Structures are given as structure tokens and as C-alpha cells.
Amino acid sequence: MRWSPTGRDNIDDLRGSSGMRGGGLSLGVGGVLVLLVLSWATGTDFLSLLGGSGDPVSSDSRQSGAPVQSTPQEEKQVDFMNTVVEDVQATWEQILGSRYQRTRLAIFRDEVQSGCGAAEAATGPFYCPGDRRVYLDLGFFDELAKRFGAPGDFAQAYVIAHEIGHHVQNLTGVTARVEQDRRPGANSASVALELQADCYAGIWGHAASQGGRFTAGRVELDPGDADEALRAASAIGDDRLQKMGGGRVAPERFTHGTSQQRMQWFQRGMVSGKPESCDTFRTMTN
């Protein structure tokens, strides 16, 4: 995957913030929520999985005003994430025109206070409809690579594009409709919402595969990049997470879809590049 920095205009840097101040997280149905789902599905506490390493260097936190400890590798990753957010949003501006309103990516460590309440790193990346921001703990991508076997920059980009897909759903009124029925289950509206966000991530992948002609032109794909996203989608399917925890596969507790479904819907968006191909609700809930 080839990319060039675009600054940090899409990033809210909360790494130096004080984190949570009471209350619990109210996520609605958005977000990948990988580790939280794994804990919930298996009864095993995965809340202490995330961590970091490296020789620290000082970096200024634009949002909190406090210095944060970072590494050159981490700062490069932040630049990469900003570029992906810029490119994904340029795609949706092309598709939706003036209906699209930009979101921002808030990066944090360990814990954060969002417009949906307090969240820990173990919650995983999530989109908050309350303040229309995507939240991501920087340690998540290490876990995605090491514990879930889905390394690669396009795998990371897929996660970000999925969360921005939830923002698109919020803007177009899909999220509000689904909030009325938050029950889990293989054919639930919750699963349909997540699979549609996977398909929307594929739509951006389609645009990026065109050599930047339909995006900000800052991201171009290399052979094999799509496979990284497919591995990530497969790694965080409900059935695989339940098996990883040593439990049985329980479709009645699904919230995001199976590994096969997540790959299928990402591929559908990647091939078509059209939002109308992503009608998971008609397919899943009928």
C-alpha cells in the first residue's frame, strides 16, 4: 500500500488526556468492538491485552495540550491514519456530495471520554454517533496483527474505513432506525449494520484500487492489499471470536456476523464500488 502524508487535519490527538471520568460507554450499535465482543462471548477477561513498547520521544498533544510519550514509529502510524481518513472521506464526498459531513479520528491510549461515555482500550475501535467521531486506541493494531493474525497497513485501513462507514450510516439515517432494535442474533439488524459497514469499507477499497482517481489520491493499493483486509474481516467474525475463547458458536449472540459474511460483504463493496450493492438489511433481516 502506497501513501503520502496529508498532515493531521483529520486527527484529534487525545493521547495526553486524562481519560475516563465516570460513567459507562454507550456505543449504540456502532464499532468493531473486537475485544469486548470476545470477552462477552466467552466469559474470559481480555481487558488487559493491550500494551506498548519502544524508546519514548516527546510529542505534543494538540487536543489535550499535554506532552505525550511516543516513538517515531507511532508518529508515522498517526500520519498514516490521517491519510487513510482523508482518503476515505474524499471517496464519500464523491459519492454523497453535500450530504456528506466530515468526521474526525480521535486517537487515545488506555481510556477515553467520548460523546457516548467512557471507554477503555479493550472496547476496540468504535464510532460514537453522539459526537460523530471515530475513536481508536493505538495499541489495537498490534493486537490485530499479533493475536488475531491480521497484519498489514491495508488491514488497518479497513478497520478505519469500517468505522467511517458507521458515520455514513449515521448521516443517512440508518443508525437511528437500527437503534430501535438492538437485539443480537445472526439475522439481527445489528449484524446487518456491521456487515453494511464492511461493505462500505470495500467501497473505499474499490476507489483506492483505481489509482487514486476517485479519492484524495494519497493512497494506492499494491497486489495483495485486499487480502490483508479479508484476513482482518475474517479474524473478527463472531464465530471465530467465540471459538478463540474456547466456547461454542452461538448464532443467537452474534453482533457483527460470521467471518465468511464479513469477507463476503467487504468483497461485494470492493468489486462494485456502489452503495446500492450494500443492502444488507434486505438480505439479512428478511
pLDDT of residue 35: 44
The least confident of 44-58, 78-92, 192-206, 234-248 is: 44-58
Give residue 227's Cα distance to chain centre: 17
94-122 tens-digit pLDDT:
999 999 999 999 999 889 999 999 988 87
> What letter represents residue 234's amino acid?
S
50-78 tens-digit pLDDT:
333 333 333 333 444 455 678 898 999 99
Instruction: Return the C-alpha cell found at 213.
Output: 482517481
What pTM was computed for the model?
A: 0.81
∠ Cα 81 267 167 (to 5°): 45
204-260 tens-digit pLDDT:
999 988 865 545 557 888 778 888 888 888 888 888 888 887 778 999 889 899 999
pLDDT of residue 216: 52
The least confident of 148-152, 159-163, 206-210 is: 148-152
pLDDT of residue 271: 94
21-26: long-range pairs with CB below 8 Å, 24+: 21/113, 21/118, 22/118, 23/117, 23/118, 24/117, 24/118, 25/114, 25/116, 25/117, 25/118, 25/119, 25/120, 25/123, 25/126, 26/116, 26/117, 26/130
Residue that has been written with the C-alpha cell 489535550 in this structure: 64
From the list 176, 162, 147, 156, the residue with the least C-alpha distance to 49 is: 147
C-alpha to C-alpha distance for 59 and 4, rounded to whole angstroms: 21
pLDDT of residue 46: 39
User: Is the CB of residue 165 less than 8 Å from the CB of residue 197?
Assistant: yes
pLDDT of residue 53: 34
pLDDT of residue 37: 46
pLDDT of residue 30: 36
pLDDT over threshold 60, residue 47? no
